[in-house]
Homo-oligomer: A and B are copies of this chain.
Amino acid sequence: MSIAESILAGDTRSLARLLTQVENGLPEGRRSLDELFPHTGRAHLIGVTGGTGTGKSSLVDRLALHYRRPPSGEPRRVAVVAVDPSSPFTGGAVLGDRVRMGDLAGDPGVFIRSMASRGSLGGLAQATAAVVQVFDAAGFDPILIETVGAGQAEVEIARLAHTTLVVEAPGLGDEVQAIKAGILEIADLLVVNKADLPGADKTTRALKGMLGLAHPAGRKASPAWIPPVLRTVALDGTGVDELAESIDRHAAHLRASGEWERRERLRLEAELETRLTAALSERLRARVGEGHYREALERMARREVSPAEAVESLLEREDAASI
């Protein structure tokens, strides 16, 4: 039985082994990914983004607990992929504090994976996409993709998701400054966590005000969906059932409006582009040879050729080498 077949049969150890291969970009993972890919495209991918101090991770844990022990209906197998792109120089996952899942310890229906950057943003986005595919094929649904912060990196990773939650909390400074236009535009749901703290009303009002401004020109949201502003207290679970309901409503809206398929397409296109770019760069260096690549760089450093001229000469050399 191949590792992919074991995963499709529900073997958790094979799953963990493949995730490690995929995270580390090992070539062994490639064949398994190809084998699993036809089984992907079923899970609801939920992005959760927000700054430090918003309690975003606790909220993700609460959502996972909700899906495992729903007030009604069947429990769902849930995966959490926690990504920290702001720590580019560490090799391992920095989210070592992910030991808050006491209530779910030992539950094989929950799988958590932390990922730190591996040098480049493109590399991280690619590895995250692959990890999500593995969970998807393995039958986890939903898959929660948690990102720290609110920069371009998070926006790139949020592109993976069908539904994007942006989490805020009261008292993190000037809300109007803290919430960037770009982040608001990717939000399908806004969550004011720590809603029991003073200032929660103010934060909620500020968010609703900004939504009013942002949504005439909304980009990702289709006109029929106005992002709701929800209030939660992750610490005791207040509002989490309502949040999960709202997430389900969003999924239903996406499917009914054709938006689900459109986002799926955008997602796949972004993945194709990322992988293509990496493969092209690798092929050029192999064909041109490290010596000529270095020489182009040296000539740039001596200011004999401009960057654009260096690129041209490398492209020409690759063409000559490929004939």
Contacts and interface: CB of A to CB of B under 8 A. Distances in A.
A95 interface: no
A301 B182 contact: no
B41 A276 contact: no
Given A303-B37, A303-B40, A306-B37, A152 B121 contact: yes
A222 interface: no
A56 to B, nearest CB: 12
Interface string A134-178: 000000000000000111111110000000000000001110011
Contact of A86 (B86, B117, B182, B301): B182
How many copies make up the complex? Answer: 2
A277 B281 contact: yes
Contacts of A17: none
A20 interface: no
A177 B53 contact: yes
Interface size class of A (residues with CB under 8 A): 35 or more
A245 to B, nearest CB: 29
Contacts of A308: 30, 33-34, 275
In this complex, which of A40, A53, A185, A307 has the most chain B Cβ atoms within 10 angstroms of its Cβ?
A: A307
Given A152-B152, A279-B312, 19 more contacts: A30-B308, A33-B306, A33-B308, A38-B303, A52-B173, A86-B150, A89-B181, A90-B182, A121-B153, A149-B149, A150-B151, A152-B153, A268-B301, A271-B307, A272-B310, A276-B314, A276-B315, A280-B315, A319-B322
21 contacts: A37-B305, A40-B303, A53-B174, A85-B151, A86-B152, A86-B155, A86-B180, A86-B183, A88-B155, A88-B182, A89-B181, A89-B185, A90-B181, A90-B182, A117-B182, A151-B153, A268-B297, A272-B296, A272-B307, A275-B307, A277-B280
